[in-house]
Amino acid sequence: MTAISNLDQYLQQQQRKDLLRFITCGSVDDGKSTLIGRLLYETKVLFEDQLGQLEADSKKLGTQGGELDFALLVDGLAAEREQGITIDVAYRFFATDKRKFIVADTPGHEQYTRNMVTGASTADLAVILIDARQGLLPQTRRHSYLVSLLGIRQVLVAVNKMDLMGYSETVFRNIEAEYRDFAAKLGLTDIQCIPLSALKGDNLLERSAEMPWYQGPSLLQHLESVPLDDSRASRAPFRLPVQWVNRPNLDFRGYSGNVAAGSIRVGDPIRVLPSGKQSRVSGILGMTGEQQEALCGQAVTLTLEDEIDISRGDLIALADAPPAVADQFEATLVWMGEEPMLPGRPYLMKIGCRTLGMSCATLKHKVEVNSLEHLAARTLELNEIGVCNLGLDQPIAFDPYGDNRDTGGFIVIDRLTNQTVGAGMLHFALRRAQNVHWQAIDVDGQARAALNGQTARVLWFTGLSGAGKSTIANLVERKLHALGRHTYLLDGDNVRHGLNRDLGFSEADRVENIRRVAEVARLMLDAGLITLVSFISPFRAERELARSRAGEGAFLEIFIDTPLELAERRDPKGLYQKARRGELKNFTGIDSPYEPPLAPDIRIDTSRESAEEAAERIVEYLLGL
């Protein structure tokens, strides 16, 4: 019984320990993985089989001449072991008598900046390593900027490899002064600088006799004693993003989620955003049953006095301290996609438990993180950071990221591949988001179409240059006009003479070209017209945007499927010849891609079907709907 009692006491002590999440970052070969590996080794959290494997790996793959290579404890990917670098984010757990830790070892290479952002997104503290031989490097500045950007307020600067510099105080003080000067520009003020040797263990667990001139804490002592920044979230107004509507039977309806900020008690008035509906908390269910109060960080289920409409993704707040609601924002965007971020291209935003449509209306500037300069830009490439104006297809409740990471941070998802391509931080709602509203009108699109005696549609013709889009679209309009239908034809070349005359043919300009035309087509659809749109529109994402703007059932995608060889032989405007000679850049099919529709409503093979036959088939299909 005594052993069981001691075990229960030990487990209770472990549960009461607080948890510090921290990251290690810095330039390549600064010793991040060695530092973490040495911490795991010295805190005795490794099992015997892990130590045996470390010894074997150190002899086979190590870089320490047969001695234990602690970096191998963290570098788990084969490519990392072969190259001696960190590629992916590696998470490790360890504990001491005073605190529990989760550490993320993040990559130092610039091309893996997106991985570093992933590791930093939940961290309370950042350990930034600096090689004493190298001093501050561009990647040191880059990671420090990202740390400040992601809201990490506590920084531990570990000046590593002091053993290779003779444990020189002068070297350390010069690096410390230079870093503090740079950090001040970023607004980082809570900084502890520690000289150490991760390989030798100097100043890692205890102060080293090799550096008697340093009187501060060791690295582990600082990690064990640094105050956690959770009180700020606890003092903030209450926020509960709804993850699940708990409805086990007809007599119970609860709203479950993790408390992102603040606290709430039974009887408190609440407001549900973005709808604005109000009620009172009638009950709180936690991990152990009913409780009177829900605190920040707890997973709870709230029950309310009133039956109101609440869905996954809504936000529950105190009635007298609600967040703002808007659909247009200024935000910082860290781009993680292989393809560039293009203003006007539709993406998905996932914020909290909600996923909705998003596009970047304007890229205001990108940030050169080494110098902190703001540079003009049209797009964001992989690992670049920019400030932009975002537009959403629905309003959301939010807090600025600086106030609350959970309600102000988001990720960007590619609509077609479902890959995460960006991470962002909301700054504030744009003023026009509150000042511009939909004006109620009495005559809608259906009424206008009924007056015309037809069903309004958008017929979107897509295909390579020279495929025959304009020819077929013109024939279709003639036939519809002869049948008494009210139509309008938007042709790519004609629109570029007016509405889009300011746009070129870069990928970003072509995206904006289609975005504008999609909006015009939507207006003409609302006018009750059958609108024919003849554009190459090479990218699926923009065609999907046009479909979404038109609405379900009103959009017909017509793929004029012509082989490149045939389109090039026709070449009515001589454009292919210019492109082949290098006189015409970004020409679709030559040096710019065309993404064919995956499931068009109508497919026209012009190698087998004449323009007249194709037009007749399209009209028959339209009239049969």
Q: Which residues are catalytic?
A: 537
Q: Select from 401, 359, 366, 369 the least CA-distant residue to 387.
A: 366
Distance CA 545, CA 603 (A): 20
Which residue has 């209306």 as its token pair? Answer: 361
Single-letter residue type at 335: W
Cβ contact 611:601 at 8 Å? no
Which string of DSSP letters, residue by residue, matches 379-407?
A: -B-TT-EEEEEEEEEEEEEE--TTT-HHH
Which string of DSSP letters, residue by residue, matches 528-586?
A: T-EEEEE-----HHHHHHHHHHH-TTSEEEEEEE--HHHHHHH-TTSHHHHHHTTSS-S
- In SS3 terms, 437-481 reads as CCCCCCCCHHHHHHHCCCCCEEEEEECCCCCCHHHHHHHHHHHHH
Q: Select from 526, 521, 529 the least CA-distant residue to 453.
A: 529
Cβ contact 274:324 at 8 Å? no
- Residue 345, Ramachandran bin (φ over 0: left; ψ between -120 and 50: alpha; else beta): beta
Rg over alpha carbons for the chain, rounded to the nearest Å, is 30
Distance CA 431, CA 329 (A): 9
Q: Residue 117 contacts by C-beta under 8 Å, 6 or more apart in sequence?
A: 146, 150, 334, 336, 423
Handedness of CA 208, 209, 210, 211 (dihedral sign): positive
Cβ contact 449:456 at 8 Å? yes
Distance CA 335, CA 338 (A): 9
| CA distances for 467 relative to 305, 463, 596, angstroms | 63, 6, 13
Instruction: Name the H helices within 483-539.
Output: 492-496, 507-526
Q: Which residues are paired to 392 by β-bridges?
A: 358
565, 570, 572, 576 alpha-carbon torsion, rounded to 10°: 20
Cβ contact 411:424 at 8 Å? yes
